[in-house]
Amino acid sequence: MALQDQTQNKRTFYKILQISDDADVDAITASYQRLKSKYGDANDAAARNELLFIEHAYETLSNPNSRRLYDRQVANDFAPPIRYEQSEPASANWFSSSKLIMVMVGVIALGAYGLNTRHTEEVSKISVAKEVMTGQNDIARAGVEGTVENTSKAIDVAAQIAQQHNELAQRQFDIQRQEADMRRIEAENRIKANEDRMAAQVVAQKAAAEREERCRYMRSLIAQANQAGAYEEARALQARGCN
């Protein structure tokens, strides 16, 4: 309910997927499939844009780690505005969304560390102002230098975290690409097996048809021999069978 209160006036990923903020993975997936079917065949730019929203929301909320991060961002009003250009092509793949997520994570990390140092900076600024007013210029200068140093360290740490997130996203992309290759190979193997099975069925049907034709011909010869009084020949033909 707390997250719902925070986001009642925002267009969040939950609203895009038309689910509640406590929906489980099954509900998220079901809503995603329904909306994807609804907008997937549309040709207008608005529908393509909405489909990008839906894909991005599903990728974020279907992963527990990214969902927890997103919920914290929304609760603290850190989530960036949801915006796509109208000219965004409908065929944009999931890797484009992953790059967007990586950039967003880097920005969020910088913002988080900026907030962590904001209080220290404000206290330092107040202290510096008082010291300047009382004539303690040397101490004030040291406070300013300390603030700059803290900010520089925060930026360095944020950059390291962003780099780690980028590396993690690349590893996830590699894994997903390998899984896609495996699924493709499995599909090709199933198609080959079906083709082999169909070919075997065709061969069996052809052999059965040829056998039936031989049997009909043999029965015709036996009938002709019997009609001609060649009973010995008819019995010999009958003994041969039609295999």
The pLDDT tens digits of the residues spanning 25-70 come to 999 999 999 999 888 777 788 888 999 999 999 999 999 999 999 9
Other Cβ atoms within 10 Å of 232 Cβ, number: 9
Q: 1-83, which class in CATH? A: mainly alpha
Segments in the chain forming alpha helices (H): 2-6, 13-16, 25-40, 45-61, 64-75, 94-133, 137-227, 231-240
The pLDDT tens digits of the residues spanning 199-216 come to 888 888 988 888 888 888
Q: pLDDT value at position 103?
A: 46
Select from 214, 224, 176 the least CA-distant residue to 63: 176
Burial 212-225 (b: 16+ CB within 10 A, else e): eeeeeebeeebeeb
Q: pLDDT value at position 85?
A: 43
Q: pLDDT value at position 133?
A: 60
What is the pLDDT tens value at each position of the chain, 243 positions in all?
A: 445 554 555 789 999 999 999 999 999 999 999 999 888 777 788 888 999 999 999 999 999 999 999 999 888 866 554 544 443 443 344 444 554 555 465 545 545 545 554 545 665 565 655 654 666 556 456 565 666 677 778 788 778 878 887 887 898 888 788 888 879 978 788 878 878 888 888 888 988 888 888 888 878 888 888 998 888 888 888 888 776
User: What is the C-alpha to C-alpha distance for residues 152 and 110, in angstroms, rounded to an integer?
Assistant: 11
Cα torsion 76, 55, 176, 186: sign:
positive
Are residues 74 and 6 in contact, defined by beta-carbon separation less than 8 angstroms?
yes
What are the residue boundaries of the structural domains of the chain, listed by start? 1-83
Q: pLDDT value at position 86?
A: 40
Burial 89-122 (b: 16+ CB within 10 A, else e): eeebeeeebbebbbebbbebbbebbeeebeeebe
Are residues 125 and 147 in contact, defined by beta-carbon separation less than 8 angstroms?
yes
